[in-house]
């Protein structure tokens, strides 16, 4: 098959379709590509797109008999010969009649697939967001640098004899952080760009973190304005000073309240300065025993580091408070947690990590038995877990 075409950022396949009335058949015999002369084809439509370079995608639509309406409807659209250069891109697929866009399902006119090679598995509706619909991605494969997937339509499928145009647009991945090959910068950045994403595991990348490799984090996208990266989750009493800085860093908990796979300890404290949204004026959050309890959200008003060994980082603003507590020598002090590798509290808010036990987030010795650390006396003295977040 030979034809000429003009390269565009988005791939657009214009297909004037005459429908075969055979189950599983392709939908067309003659097509028109970008206004050029009709091109005969049997098993697909080839056309270049921005991410394919000199390669051409192959688009193959199929119909089958829909018993619910007693007619043939669009069942599958297979996209093949996808080069690895397209990994991390969104493919947006729509169908048109001669005059208007057709629903792929009730109220859905755009099917969006985030292409990730052999890991491609979800189809969303619209140009952004995470809302899915009844369609699925099937027949996914990737061999020798080229991949294939099929969009399988269910629900209220468009009638095959109405389809005259198929459009497929390639676009940058709409939500960074969802895929390893399209990482974000932090939970805050991902939340700012895609505020409807739920809490869970996301991918970030920074040249100062893990040798520049993408790493997973747990992101809280809903509470206290969303966009929080989990820095520390402590469910055990004894840590070493080194573990305070980094432990189980490549296995973040999928649920911050369940730390079984991490041996009850998780820290990316030494990475936190590269995740905060600004040098000063960034936010941090501390909570204990249960998420949303016995702590607060804070703003650091100075250029403070998460691995500072100074106890002078006291210019902080307490914002939203969880439960009833006040700053005290017998609890959290009015300072950002600081790191003391030689103290009993290796991560603490107290003025002295040697002489004062309270206000500790990570302890080197089991002052609370098997529980994490001495926290707030007479209120939440030895919680079952302690969490520390950055935004």
40 or 199, higher pLDDT: 199
Mean pLDDT, residues 72-99 taken together: 88
Distance of CA 217 to the CA centre of its chain: 9
Whether residue 220 contacts residue 199, with contact meaning beta carbons closer than 8 Å, is answered with yes
Mean pLDDT, residues 168-172 taken together: 79
Q: Is the dihedral of CA 196, 201, 206, 208 positive or negative?
A: positive
For residue 367, give the DSSP letter: T
Q: How does residue 50 score in pLDDT terms, banded at 50, 70 and 90?
A: low
**Domains of the chain: which residue ranges?**
12-172, 187-390
- The answer to whether residue 357 scores a pLDDT higher than 50 is yes
The pTM is what? 0.67
289 or 120, higher pLDDT: 289
- The answer to whether residue 123 scores a pLDDT higher than 60 is yes
Instruction: Reduce the DSSP state of residue 177 to 3 states and report it.
Output: coil
Whether residue 222 contacts residue 198, with contact meaning beta carbons closer than 8 Å, is answered with yes
Phi, psi of 273 (to 5 degrees): -65, -20
pLDDT at 117: 87
Q: Is 370 left (phi over 0), alpha (psi -120 to 50) or beta?
A: alpha
Q: How does residue 171 score in pLDDT terms, banded at 50, 70 and 90?
A: confident
Tokens for 100, please give them: 């208007």
Mean pLDDT, residues 162-176 taken together: 81
Tokens for 12, please give them: 């657009």
- The answer to whether residue 174 scores a pLDDT higher than 80 is no
Read off the pLDDT of residues 134-168 as tens digits, 9 standing for 90 and up.
Answer: 999 999 999 999 999 999 999 999 998 888 888 88
Whether residue 334 contacts residue 316, with contact meaning beta carbons closer than 8 Å, is answered with yes
Q: How does residue 385 score in pLDDT terms, banded at 50, 70 and 90?
A: very high
pLDDT at 58: 83
Tokens for 116, please give them: 């990730």
Read off the pLDDT of residues 104-122 as tens digits, 9 standing for 90 and up.
Answer: 999 999 999 988 888 888 8
Mean pLDDT, residues 283-297 taken together: 98
Instruction: Reduce the DSSP state of residue 260 to 3 states and report it.
Output: helix
Which H helix or E strand runs over 218? strand 215-220
pLDDT at 87: 81
Mean pLDDT, residues 168-175 taken together: 78
**Cα angle for residues 110, 115, 116 (degrees, 5° grid):** 155
pLDDT at 201: 94
- Percent pLDDT > 90 in the chain is 61
- The answer to whether residue 6 scores a pLDDT higher than 70 is no
Read off the pLDDT of residues 221-267 as tens digits, 9 standing for 90 and up.
Answer: 999 999 999 999 999 989 999 999 999 999 999 999 999 999 999 99
Distance of CA 268 to the CA centre of its chain: 18
Which H helix or E strand runs over 295? strand 295-300
34 or 117, higher pLDDT: 117
Instruction: Reduce the DSSP state of residue 189 to 3 states and report it.
Output: helix
């Amino acid at each position: 098959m030979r034809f000429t075409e003009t390269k565009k950022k988005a791939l657009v396949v214009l297909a004037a379709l005459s429908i075969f009335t055979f189950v599983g058949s392709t939908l067309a015999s003659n097509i028109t590509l970008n206004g050029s002369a009709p091109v005969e084809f049997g098993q697909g439509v080839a056309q270049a797109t921005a991410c394919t370079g000199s390669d051409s995608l192959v688009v193959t639509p199929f119909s089958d008999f829909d018993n619910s309406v007693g007619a043939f409807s669009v069942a599958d659209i297979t996209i093949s010969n996808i080069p690895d250069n397209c990994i991390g891109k969104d493919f947006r697929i729509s169908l048109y009649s001669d005059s208007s866009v057709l629903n792929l399902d009730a109220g859905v006119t755009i099917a969006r697939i985030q292409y990730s090679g052999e890991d491609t598995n979800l189809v969303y509706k619209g140009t952004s967001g995470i809302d899915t619909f009844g369609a699925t991605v099937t027949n996914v494969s990737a061999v020798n640098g080229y991949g294939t997937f099929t969009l399988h339509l269910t629900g209220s499928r468009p009638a095959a004899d109405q389809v005259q145009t198929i459009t497929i647009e390639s676009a940058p991945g709409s939500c960074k952080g969802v895929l390893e090959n399209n990482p974000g910068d932090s939970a805050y950045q991902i939340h700012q760009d895609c505020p409807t994403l739920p809490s869970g595991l996301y991918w970030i990348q920074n040249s100062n973190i893990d040798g520049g490799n993408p790493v997973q984090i747990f992101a809280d996208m809903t509470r206290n304005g969303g966009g929080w990266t989990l820095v520390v989750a402590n469910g055990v009493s004894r840590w070493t000073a080194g573990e305070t800085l980094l432990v189980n860093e490549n296995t973040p908990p999928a649920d911050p309240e369940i730390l079984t796979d991490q041996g009850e300890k998780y820290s990316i404290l030494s990475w936190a300065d590269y995740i905060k949204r600004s040098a000063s004026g960034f936010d941090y959050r501390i909570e204990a025993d249960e998420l949303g309890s016995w702590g607060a959200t804070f703003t650091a008003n100075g250029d403070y580091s998460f691995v500072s060994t100074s106890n002078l980082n006291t210019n902080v603003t307490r914002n939203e408070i969880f439960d009833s507590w006040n700053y005290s020598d017998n609890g959290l002090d009015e300072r950002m947690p600081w790191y003391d590798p030689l103290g009993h509290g290796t991560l603490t808010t107290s003025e002295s990590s040697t002489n004062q036990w309270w206000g500790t987030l990570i302890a080197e010795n089991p002052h609370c038995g098997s529980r994490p650390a001495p926290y707030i006396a007479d209120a939440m003295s030895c919680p079952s877990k302690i969490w520390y977040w950055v935004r």
